[in-house]
Amino acid sequence: MFALKILLGLAGLGVVVIVHELGHFIAARIAGIDVEAFSIGWGKPILKKQIGAVEYRLGMFPLGGYCKMRGENEFEEAYKNNQNKISPVKGTFFGAKPWQRIMVAFAGPFFNLVFAALVFSIIWGVGFTTVDMENRIVLASDVSGEDTAFPANVAGLESGDRIIAIDGAPIETFGEIREKIAINPEKTLSLKVERGGAVQDMAITPNLDKNTGAGTIGVYYWLDPVVSEVAQAGPAEAAGLKQDDRILTINGRDIEYSAALIPVLEERPQTLAVDFERDGVTTRTELRPVYTNEGADLGFSFHMLEYRTPGLSPFAAISKGLSEAWKTLAVSVKSLALLFKGIDLTQAVSGPVRITYMLGDVAAAGFSSSVADGIRNMADFLCLISIALCVMNLLPLPVLDGGLIALFIIEIFKRRPLNPKFISIFQTVGVVLIFALMLFAVFGDVLYLVRL
């Protein structure tokens, strides 16, 4: 399964990279810049084919890629030869006008954004089914039994409440609650809460989780403890549990909602005395859980809710796709600011290894349900990565597309070519910074995989 996740992740990242480099490729051709090579992956080519003036390659290392343009490193030769400017040659990168080079640099991130909007549009045009929990909550303090002042407690929320709106936006599922809270740490939000048939207005300020950079308020989802599926030859089947059984108590503890299992299983008991109700009759059985690195396997799952979103018309789907892409872009930009709020960067910053694994994990989880779910899950995550790549590449840092854009904007204002020495120092500093960042990210990735 681990190998499958990696393969799925590599395939997904390959798509995002192809889109990014294709943007540079097309813009370069439009600008009259000769492209010498187009590669997916880095390192020595394991496959290559010459088509016209371009050599298409498949690199040995399937992470990243590049579009090699003629003369893109001319500044190095000019610097070595003590020239104070780069001699423009038609068809080369520095032979193009500054605004054309800006267009080429911007095209890669722009294509990533367009790709995400297109994929989102297709998803909404086809329609999809999601599995989620209702908008009913359980206080984390009620689960743990500890008197902790989580934001939910401070706001006056109670277990069983339904959050029906956040900052005026209607809420139907717990996933929507989680999304709104996660992207608004340390920001006061207005809530509409339904309790006992009456609606109350409340305000809540999520905490910043410094491990993830996300906002948290100290709640779980409410999920009735009714058995949905029983795994074949699993612990639940051996214990005699069946679909639609309602779990009443485990080891003497009342199980009013699924989260009540958490403190029971944290003690890692070898056997569980389970009282359950079937057809109005209460029965006791003994269940032996199987413990793995991912937690306890009880061999059954609880009923969740299915939400079907019908396919939209082409115009509506495109409008929704653009809206989703813009929203994801805004969240990505906002997330960058959180990096400077003292969060644990080894957990919050993902490198290529972790992204590959996470992408494969999301896809594999979806495919385990159905092919359609696997494709949609992977497409959603690809959109997120594609937009994140867009944002990161537009940062005005050396080596990145944004750094090149900054250089060429300076050239436009100076109205004369930049000194090759300045470009060389600028790019060298960038290489060092990016290499250091990659080492840090890979170190965090290794810790992540070790924890898995």
CA 136/CA 117 separation, integer angstroms? 31
Q: Active site includes 266?
A: no
Token duo for residue 215: 């906002």
CB-count burial class (<10 Å; 0-12, 13-18, 19+) for 270: exposed
DSSP 258: G
Token duo for residue 82: 């003590």
Task: Assign 172 to helix, strand or coil.
Answer: coil
Of 82, 83, 43, 96, residue with least CA distance to 66: 43
For 58, the enclosing helix (H) or strand (E) is strand 54-69
CA 86/CA 93 separation, integer angstroms? 11
Task: Assign 279 to helix, strand or coil.
Answer: coil
Q: Which amino acid is at 434?
A: I
Longest dimension (CA), the chain: 91
Residue tagged active-site, from 21, 74, 324, 411: 21
Q: Are 180 and 156 in contact (CB under 8 A)?
A: no
Query: 249: which strand partners?
Result: 254, 275
Beta-strand pair 219-221/137-139: antiparallel
Q: How many CB atoms lie within 10 A of CB 127?
A: 12
Active site residues: 21
